[in-house]
Structure 1
Amino acid sequence: MICGFIVALALSGLLVRLAPSASVDAAKAETAMLFVPLVWTGVFSVAYLFRSGLRAWLWLGAVSVVTLALFEIGK
């Protein structure tokens, strides 16, 4: 599930970028590390709800592009 991993990393990066700057960097990093497997597992589970593999690839690919775009905009 490459697309799920991309979504998880992008959302984790957004979490770190949008967290208040007053918070400790170590806490933000640890939260981001723990956030990735949770999101990745969720996306991995949702992938089985699609009727075909092509639909899953198309939808998850689109979600990956959107989350990467949000990550880039969040700079």
Structure 2
Amino acid sequence: MWGRFAAGVVAGFFLSTALVGLVCWLLPGPWQSTLVPGMLAFIPVWVGVICASLQFASTRRAWLWLGSLAVAGLALLRVLQALDWVR
């Protein structure tokens, strides 16, 4: 259980960052206007990911899924920024 919880805390932090970042950057208008709502939404999203991480069957699956989703989400943010689709 502690391994799955740790996966939710560590990898879930980066996954939540990617999810909130995608939503904030893809909304119309400047990203500065979504900074405070994004920061307020981050904690509930992170807690939800932590709770979801406890539903995995094993620690290894939790780390693999959450880690790969976090890397994919952050890579997507970087690609969007490199393509100049977001600022």
TM-score, with length taken from structure 2: 0.74
- The partner residue of 2:12 within 4, 28, 31 is 4
Structure 1 stretches lacking a partner, 5+ long: none
- Alignment partner of 1:66 is 2:72: yes
Displaced runs of 4 or more, over 2 A: 23-26
| Residues 18, 74 of structure 2: 8 Å contact kept | yes
- The partner residue of 1:25 within 20, 25, 32 is 32
Q: Deviations over 1:34-70 (max 9, x none)?
A: 1211111111011111111111111111111111112
Q: Secondary structure at the match of 1:74?
A: helix
| Residues 14, 74 of structure 1: 8 Å contact kept | no
| Identity fraction in percent | 37
| Residues 16, 29 of structure 1: 8 Å contact kept | yes
| Count, aligned residues | 73
Aligned Cα RMSD in Å?
Answer: 1.7
Specify the alignment match of 1:50 in structure 2.
56
Cα separation, 2, equivalents of 1:24 and 1:47:
29
| Residues 4, 44 of structure 1: 8 Å contact kept | yes
TM-score, with length taken from structure 1: 0.84
Cα separation, 2, equivalents of 1:19 and 1:73:
17
Q: Secondary structure at the match of 2:54?
A: helix
